[in-house]
Amino acid sequence: MAKINITIDNKAIECNENETILNVARANDVFIPAICYLNDCSPTLACRLCMVQSDGKQVFACNAKAKDGVVITTSNKELESHRNDVMQVYDVNHPLECGVCDKSGECELQNYTHYTEVSTQNHTIADTPRPQEEFNEDILYNPGLCIMCERCITVCNDSVGEGALGTRQREGESLNKDLKETISKDLFAMWNKLQKSLIAPTSGENLDCSSCGECISVCPVGSLTSKHFEYTSNAWELTKIPASNPHSSDCELMYYEVKHSSGTSNEAKIYRVTNDFGFSNLHGAARFGFDYISNSAKNEKELSNTLIAFKKADTIIFDSFITNEEALILQRLKEKYGYKLINHEAKAYQDFLYNFGHLYSANTKDIKSSDLIIVLGTNLSHDHPNTGYAINKALKMNKAKALYFHPIENNIVSSFAKPKSLLSITHKVYEEENILEYIANKMTPINIDTEFKFDDELQEQIDSFCDTNSTVTIVVGEDYYTHPNSSYLSSLLHEISINSNIKVMLIPPKTNSLGVSLICDLDKDEGEYSIGYNQKGDFTMSALGTGDIQIPSLAQQEGTFTNINKKVVPTNVAVTFDGYNLNDIANFMGLEAKNTIDYTHELPVFKGYKNIKFDELDNFYGNDNIEYRGYEIEDNFCFIPQTSSKKELENKDETYIYRCNPIKQFNYLTGASKNITESHGVYASKEYLDSLDLKSSDTISLNIENTTFDTNIYVDNKINGNICYITDFNSAIPTENIFKNGYRFKPVSIKKGAN
Ligand code: SF4
Ligand code: SF4
Ligand code: FES
């Protein structure tokens, strides 16, 4: 991108051509007041507060591009008077309920009212009653506080991709037209909108969305708030603890906000999770699934039982909701005592990654700047919402195109863009190999002999997306890692990556699947006696309090994760844990480390990790829009892919069920969260339930691979078609056992009623 030189308030600045004045100012620590603009989203020009002078002409900094040689003035009498006028209008009829408002102390309306020195009110207009509304089980809307900045609409559309919020008529008093003589036309337009509109769900009365809560996060006032946080604390009483999302492999920067749990107890409690909305997005589980904490005291008897069990055990079974440091401790215990390390999901991912040959090349930034993104093998908005946000940004902000292939039709992904830029193709189970071969033939010099064809019209549409001159990223999910032809798929992806400029991303299925895959030598078969580490074993260590000894949850641990962008990012303790953690147990068994984070700089360098201590890892975003979080691992390992022949698999037109969780459930901790209420069981589209003559919550009897059991079936409005999915975040149904070594799709028979 070409560089240009501009001046802002006498400061000479070099910046990129085509950057907005506001972004250039922010990157260079020059403050310009702005309410409605959201970084990386389209400007709405709703607030008019960011007015500056560019070579003497008034422009809005969030919308005007910097031009070579231009001289910008951000503050003078005229501009300050305009900003004072804007804030006066915002303050007309804004209820003075700051004493109880959730936003008080961090409210942009309060801050800008002070900043612009509003000390008088020159305007009046009759108010209209605007009672509070409950948008859904997480989100409250107080229209009386709404300043119609439209940030909530913008973030939901441009970042999250759901477009679940829009405007509706407010039916407020009309402005007196004579005002046009006394106030500026910008101010009149802004006030007029304030009187005329409110926010509303775009479809139906209730907000039927993924409930990520980003709209709460961006609301500058206390208009959109979290039902779980309402009236629980003043913002200024909370201590912000930077951490990383523990529920999925975006491991996005988030803050646990903590204070004492009650007037009579000094025990710390997490009151909410927040994020730097200008730089990152959180999904619903990250934002609301924080309320499970493990409580325990050191107990000699439990410790002695644990050490006896470790002596007896030959196997440790675990999952990837652990830190890199815990993974290294398990690996060290393996090296010292020969334990088999069993983690089925990470093993499938590790095998796929090793057979792919090296670390995948793409990261989230590559997705955002791609011309074409091809998504394969993932029910994206459930498996990895943040990758969905990145793809939506590419479509919305970069005019990219996307091809989305999956047996389940996902309405959230389809809503990212119109068919001209996003083609969502619902294919049959077991067609993954055909589709990847098609892409290889179409977009690379590889030539595979195949008879597979899409139907003519679809073929034409797909072909129109496949421009070989484009910057292309292929995003692959867990269906591929567990596929009976996974080695064929991984070696073909390897061929694609070395025979073209196409970048590949292999989504780590759980929070730290990538870290576990790089740090641990995983085994395939269990031995005779197992320790379960947050998994069922002969002796179980559990953060849920359901095992033989209690261990801390991820909100109670210091350490690092290796995230989807191949970065080692730190997480911190929100609430202390008084029992034994894995490091304590390992020390009793002969390893030596005072704290778990003493392992951070010992992570394996030959796998790309660096010899950097935990306390040296940053965890923030800069005003320059740069991520200062941990470090990126190097692509240090190289395996020769084993080209394996393709097994011929047949879709016998059976009924299939898919292993997948509802949108806010990711693991046993989200399952234990009181804030997240999605049940375990089976989910299906409304049309599928109707075809089975079932209603939401009905009891059904399932048979999958000769295992019969009862559960409940629920509607998921976010999917279409005739494939249902079954949850695996709660062990009340035997999903984990049935699916532990295999493909995410299995034939199923479903009967109404209990056995
Ligand atoms: S919760 Fe998320 S998806 Fe729902 S309206 Fe808000 S931003 Fe949109
Ligand atoms: S609800 Fe909040 S974010 Fe949305 S328009 Fe109103 S003030 Fe702005
Ligand atoms: S920030 Fe520019 S118009 Fe609101």
pLDDT tens digits, one per residue of 300-328: 999 999 999 999 999 999 999 999 999 99
Query: Looking at residue 104, what is its pLDDT?
Result: 94
Which alpha helices (H) appear in 485-553, and where do they start and end? 486-498, 513-519
Atom of ligand 2 nearest to the CA of 151: 3
Which ligand is in closest contact with the Cα of 198?
Answer: 2
- Is 612 domain-assigned? yes
Q: Is the pLDDT of residue 755 over 70?
A: no
Query: Looking at residue 720, what is its pLDDT?
Result: 92
- 374-383 pLDDT tens trace: 999 999 999 9
Do 538 and 585 fall within a single domain? yes
Q: 584 by DSSP, 3-state: which? A: helix
Query: Looking at residue 171, what is its pLDDT?
Result: 83
**Strand ranges in 151-308 using DSSP code E only, listed in sequence order:** 165-169, 197-201, 224-226, 239-244, 253-262, 265-274
Q: Is the pLDDT of residue 640 over 90?
A: no
Which ligand is in closest contact with the Cα of 52?
Answer: 3
Averaged pLDDT for residues 666-682: 96
Which structure tokens are listed for 369? 């700047």
The span from the CA of 393 to the CA of 37, in Å, is 16
* CA 183 / ligand 3 centre spacing (Å): 18
* CA 386 / ligand 2 centre spacing (Å): 23
Query: Looking at residue 636, what is its pLDDT?
Result: 81
- Is 689 domain-assigned? yes
Q: Is the pLDDT of residue 651 over 80?
A: no
- Is 212 domain-assigned? no
Do 625 and 714 fall within a single domain? no
Which structure tokens are listed for 329? 């401790």
Do 734 and 672 fall within a single domain? yes
List ligand 1's pocket residues with C-beta within 6 A: 155-156, 160, 162, 164-165, 207, 209-215
432 vs 173, residue with greater confidence = 432
Query: Looking at residue 290, what is its pLDDT?
Result: 96
Do 628 and 529 fall within a single domain? yes
Instruction: Classify burial at 124, counting beta carbons within 10 Å of its beta carbon; exposed 0-12, middle 13-18, buried 19 or more.
Output: exposed
List ligand 3's pocket residues with C-beta within 6 A: 34-37, 43, 45-50, 60, 62
Nearest CA to ligand 2 atom 2: 219
Q: 79 by DSSP, 3-state: which? A: helix
Q: Identify the residue whose tokens are 């691979």.
A: 705
User: Treating both helix axes as pointing N-terminal to C-terminal, what angle do 77-91 and 108-115 enclose, rounded to 10 degrees?
Assistant: 140
Do 581 and 666 fall within a single domain? no
Averaged pLDDT for residues 89-105: 90
Closest CA to 408 of 199, 89, 657: 657
Q: pLDDT category, 418, cuts 50, 70, 90?
A: confident
Do 566 and 604 fall within a single domain? yes
* CA 95 / ligand 2 centre spacing (Å): 15
- 138-191 pLDDT tens trace: 999 999 999 999 999 999 999 999 999 999 998 888 888 888 888 999 999 999
Which ligand is in closest contact with the Cα of 170?
Answer: 2
**Other Cβ atoms within 10 Å of 690 Cβ, number:** 12
Do 627 and 565 fall within a single domain? yes
Nearest CA to ligand 2 atom 6: 146
* CA 209 / ligand 1 centre spacing (Å): 6
Strand partners, 7: 12, 71
Q: Give how far Cα 509 sits from Cα of 411, 669, 735, Å.
A: 21, 16, 16
- Is 317 domain-assigned? yes
Q: Give the helix, strand, coil percentages of the chain, each rounded to 5.
A: 30, 20, 50
Q: Roughly how many angstroms between the first and final C-alpha of the chain, as a whole number?
A: 65
Which ligand is in closest contact with the Cα of 59?
Answer: 3
> Using an 8 Å Cβ cutoff, are 380 and 388 in contact?
yes
Averaged pLDDT for residues 83-105: 91
Do 683 and 618 fall within a single domain? no
Render the burial of 512-522: b for 16+ CB within 10 Å, e for the rest: bbbbbbbbbeb
Q: 372 by DSSP, 3-state: which? A: strand
- Is 233 domain-assigned? no
Do 666 and 609 fall within a single domain? no
Closest CA to 351 of 489, 448, 469, 453: 489
| Of the listed ranges 33-42, 406-415, 651-660, the one predicted with least confidence | 651-660
List ligand 2's pocket residues with C-beta within 6 A: 146-152, 199, 218-221, 223-224
- Is 137 domain-assigned? no
Single out the residue in 592, 616, 632 at which a domain terminates.
632
Which structure tokens are listed for 651? 């879709």
| Domains identified in the chain, total number | 2
- Is 256 domain-assigned? no
- 42-81 pLDDT tens trace: 999 999 999 999 999 999 999 999 999 999 999 999 999 9
Q: Is the pLDDT of residue 289 over 90?
A: yes
Query: Looking at residue 371, what is its pLDDT?
Result: 96
Do 559 and 615 fall within a single domain? yes
Single out the residue in 617, 632, 647 at which a domain terminates.
632
Q: pLDDT category, 269, cuts 50, 70, 90?
A: very high
Averaged pLDDT for residues 229-255: 96
The span from the CA of 18 to the CA of 15, in Å, is 9
Single out the residue in 632, 648, 683 at which a domain terminates.
632
Atom of ligand 3 nearest to the CA of 51: 2
- The mean predicted confidence, pLDDT, of the chain is 94
Do 624 and 690 fall within a single domain? no
Q: What is the CATH number of the domain that holds 711?
A: 2.40.40.20
Domain assignment of residue 664, given as a range: 656-752
- Is 590 domain-assigned? yes
Atom of ligand 3 nearest to the CA of 62: 2
Which ligand is in closest contact with the Cα of 277?
Answer: 1
Atom of ligand 3 nearest to the CA of 36: 4
Q: Is the pLDDT of residue 465 over 70?
A: yes
β-strand pairing of 656-659 with 745-752: antiparallel
* CA 74 / ligand 3 centre spacing (Å): 13
Angle at 598 between CA 298 and CA 247, to 5 degrees: 75
Do 576 and 678 fall within a single domain? no
